[in-house]
Amino acid sequence: MTALLLEVTDLHTHFEARAGTVKSVDGISFHLERGEILGLVGESGSGKSITGFSLIGLIDKPGRIVQGSIKLEGRELVGLSEVELRKVRGREISMVFQDPMMTLNPVLTVLDQMTMALRAHESLSDAEARIRCIEALRQVRIVDPEQKVDFYPHQFSGGMRQRVAIAIALLHKPKVVIADEPTTALDVSVQAEILVEVKALVAELGISMIWISHDLATVASISKRIAVMKSGKIVETGPAAEVLRAPSHPYTQLLLDALPSRAKPGQLLGAQAGENEVFQANDVTVASEPYPEFVTVKGAVKRFEWKNGFWGRIGERFGLVKQRKAVLAVNDVSLSIARGEALGLVGESGSGKSTLGRMVCGIYRPSEGEIRLAGAPVMLDSQQGRKLTTKVQMIFQDPFASLDPRRTIGQSIAEGPIAHGLTTRAGARSYVARWLEAVSLDPAVADRYPHQFSGGQRQRVAIARALAMRPEVIVCDEPVASLDVSIQAQILNLLLTLRKELGLTLLFISHDLSVVRHLCDRVAVMYRGRIVEEGTAEDIFNAPQDAYTKMLLEAIPRLA
């Protein structure tokens, strides 16, 4: 019996494609000790997730483990039949995936799904299964598990769904749990709660864990040892404190340099940081005189009413159907943004940030209050709420969802300017080329479709599309939320540069406070539809006054 719980030696996992062999995992070796949390760090495409899938035997054709060894307590897992692997999965090794809704069945209750997982390895009655499931939910700190066990996945928040996924992974008290980016899409406060709970569970149950992530700060807060992956290889491994304090590989250093928390606010990140230029609000090139209340929001309220059909209204009238209350997303918000300023709007999911951003952009009509740009209303004050200006544009969180997959990016960028007379159809190609160059893309890519770009490139296309309308204000709704740290740095550098060169005014919406501190001059903190605190970025981060703001700041994962 080996002293190590898990030993991976010279593992190669390849995928056969038309263009040739893709070496997703290319000869990696590492080990996992009992009770240890190992951080596996790297960007998208580095082979982290494929490593996790290889360990649990979830590599589907045309992928296969070409060579190497995976030993769990001395037992070789490579080469086991599917029947034998099923006996290992869940009981010996389990996995928590990035998106819990991809693993939870929306038409089954949590109890049904957990019972199925239990009966894959054990024979037990319905009563025994219910007791086990309730206990597992209680273990991951889900309140009132006796009632929540009968809920469907859609009845849980994102953080709660991830806890359910962790509970399912822990049902059989496995020896190893592989967590694949389990907190990437979560708010900073929810992420902090889950990190604390995971560390407590590891200590309480004596399990070992491999925590896969591209977020160095998150990995540093949970792992004692880190392995850094690049292009299918582990380029550096060692104690977390040593690797982060004095990295030996240039790639690890590049990842650290790309973190906003490691640079001065306003400084270019990553490879461009050598220019050592810091952008301040007074550096911004503004064509006209200062305008302290360029964008104004006064008493803005947004209610989302439930629309009932004919029979629904009849049911309400006779008391057969309860009238559903309107959802109050934004509740009496007032703020202003100066010309050329970047205002950060922060808060958790559901706080009303995106709704307020869409009101400022003229996508949603306020239920009450007014929104003005340079003194003029953004929207027509009528039931239709037609937008009156093109001077405010929006960059959405997911560019792939906001770009038409059937149109080339050149067509997508040119559509708005042609419609509003900013260019002609004859001059559209050169007009599009100008804005692609502005976001550091080759104009030749105008004939490509959205699926032919990486995530970072698609976000640049989305920025180019917004700029092509020649706006004075851009609303950025979580534009770097799901990007790798180096791609995030590229987009932040681009926004800093464009803001300086074009004199743009930004409303930057995010739940990532380190990004907001780096990019923004002032910060407004939103909670349950209201602004609870507002001030300069320096004041908010160094001397927060509101308890909610303090909680958000304390939840930020730190490298040291």
Domain extent listing, the chain: 6-257, 282-288+339-365+378-554
Is the torsion defined by CA of 365, 366, 371, 376 positive or negative? positive
pLDDT average, residue stretch 46-71? 91
Prediction pTM value = 0.80
Largest CA distance in the chain: 76
Q: Is pLDDT at 325 greater than 80 in this prediction?
A: no
pLDDT average, residue stretch 504-516? 89
47: which 2 tokens?
Answer: 């082979």
Kindly give, in sequence order, each residue whose CB lies less than 8 Å from that of residue 376, ignoring residues fewer than 6 positions away.
388, 389
Q: What are phi and psi of 404, to 5 degrees?
A: -70, 120
Q: Is pLDDT at 276 greater than 60 in this prediction?
A: no
Please give the Cα distance from 258 to 215 (Å, whole number).
11
Closest to 52 (Cα-Cα) out of 156, 182, 197, 202: 182
pLDDT tens for residues 415-456?
999 999 999 999 999 999 999 998 888 999 999 998 888 777
Q: What are phi and psi of 311, to 5 degrees?
A: -70, -30
- Of 258-262, 280-284, 387-391, 407-411, which gets the smallest average pLDDT? 280-284
Higher pLDDT, 186 or 148: 148
Which of the given ranges, 90-99, 477-486, 509-518, 532-541, has the highest pLDDT on average? Answer: 532-541
pLDDT average, residue stretch 269-291? 57
Which residues does residue 300 pair with via DSSP β-bridges, in sequence order?
A: 333
Predicted local confidence at residue 380, as pLDDT: 78
| Under 8 Å between Cβ of 283 and 496 | no
> Could you give the percent of the chain with pLDDT greater than 70?
92
| Under 8 Å between Cβ of 196 and 231 | no
Q: How confident is the model at residue 205 (pLDDT cuts 50, 70, 90)?
A: confident
On average, the pLDDT of the chain sits at 87
Residue by residue, DSSP assigns 442-459 as: -GGGGGS-GGGS-HHHHH
**Three-state SS for 68?**
strand
Classify domain 6-257 at the CATH superfamily level: P-loop containing nucleotide triphosphate hydrolases (3.40.50.300)
pLDDT average, residue stretch 175-194? 84
Predicted local confidence at residue 150, as pLDDT: 93
Predicted local confidence at residue 288, as pLDDT: 53
Q: How many angstroms separate the Cα of 440 from the Cα of each of 409, 462, 476, 542? A: 15, 13, 19, 35
Higher pLDDT, 244 or 29: 29
**Three-state SS for 1?**
coil
pLDDT average, residue stretch 477-500? 85
Secondary structure of 74-103 in the HEC alphabet?
CEECCCCCHHHHHHHECCCEEEECCCHHHC
Q: How confident is the model at residue 314 (pLDDT cuts 50, 70, 90)?
A: confident
Q: Is pLDDT at 76 greater than 70 in this prediction?
A: yes
pLDDT tens for residues 144-161?
899 999 999 988 877 788
Q: Is pLDDT at 225 greater than 90 in this prediction?
A: yes
Predicted local confidence at residue 556, as pLDDT: 82
Residue with tokens 């909670």: 527
Domains 6-257 and 282-288+339-365+378-554 in one fold: yes
Please give the Cα distance from 327 to 332 (Å, whole number).
14
pLDDT average, residue stretch 92-100? 88
Q: Is pLDDT at 1 greater than 50 in this prediction?
A: no
Which of the given ranges, 138-142, 341-345, 451-455, has the highest pLDDT on average? Answer: 341-345
- Of 34-38, 413-417, 554-558, which gets the smallest average pLDDT? 554-558
Q: Is pLDDT at 12 greater than 60 in this prediction?
A: yes
Classify domain 282-288+339-365+378-554 at the CATH superfamily level: P-loop containing nucleotide triphosphate hydrolases (3.40.50.300)
Cis? peptide before 260, omega within 30° of 0 = no
Residue with tokens 């992974």: 169
Please give the Cα distance from 464 to 447 (Å, whole number).
15
Predicted local confidence at residue 289, as pLDDT: 64
Predicted local confidence at residue 283, as pLDDT: 53
Quick count: other Cβ atoms within 10 Å of Cβ 392?
24
Predicted local confidence at residue 557, as pLDDT: 80
pLDDT tens for residues 226-273?
999 999 999 999 999 899 889 999 999 988 888 888 888 888 887 555
pLDDT average, residue stretch 4-32? 92
pLDDT average, residue stretch 403-422? 92
Q: What are phi and psi of 83, to 5 degrees?
A: -60, -45
- Of 271-275, 348-352, 373-377, which gets the smallest average pLDDT? 271-275
pLDDT average, residue stretch 534-549? 93
